[in-house]
């Protein structure tokens, strides 16, 4: 169930409420009964797996540089 942040326009009280998506937004502050509005919060989304920038494109080597994994492994002569 998603949680929503609200802020009172009268007293400035900020609070969080867990509500279903289908429920109507709250209209009044629980402290002073003033009008409130829902705040917009960033979503906490994490993309995992192949096909995303961080896992596929963020670790490419550039010309003239060596990655730390290649530099750390000793070469065997034989």
CATH number at residue 12: 2.20.28
Helix count (H) and strand count (E) of the chain?
2, 3
Query: What pLDDT does 57 receive?
Result: 55
Paired with 37 in beta bridges are 7
In tens, the pLDDT along 31-74 reads 999 999 999 877 777 777 666 665 555 555 656 655 555 555 55
| Residue 78, domain member (yes or no) | no
| Residue 15, domain member (yes or no) | yes
| Residue 6, domain member (yes or no) | yes
Q: pTM of the entire structure?
A: 0.53
| Residue 77, domain member (yes or no) | no
| Residue 50, domain member (yes or no) | no
| Residue 8, domain member (yes or no) | yes
Q: Which residue has the tokens 């007293």?
A: 11
Radius of gyration of the chain from its Cα atoms, rounded to whole angstroms: 25
How many domains is the chain partitioned into structurally? 1
Query: What pLDDT does 29 receive?
Result: 95
Domain range holding 5? 1-42
Query: What pLDDT does 43 receive?
Result: 72
Paired with 9 in beta bridges are none
Cite the DSSP H helix spans in the chain.
Answer: 53-56, 68-72
Query: What pLDDT does 21 receive?
Result: 87
Query: What pLDDT does 3 receive?
Result: 87
The CA-atom distances, in angstroms, between 27 and each of 30, 31, 40, 78 are 10, 12, 16, 77
């Amino acid at each position: 169930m998603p949680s929503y942040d609200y802020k009172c326009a009268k007293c400035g009280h900020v609070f969080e409420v867990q509500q279903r998506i289908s429920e109507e937004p709250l209209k009044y502050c629980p402290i002073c009964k003033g009008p409130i509005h829902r705040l917009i919060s960033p979503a906490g989304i994490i993309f995992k797996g192949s096909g995303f920038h961080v896992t596929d494109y963020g670790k490419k080597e550039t010309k003239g540089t060596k990655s730390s994994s290649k530099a750390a492994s000793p070469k065997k002569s034989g």
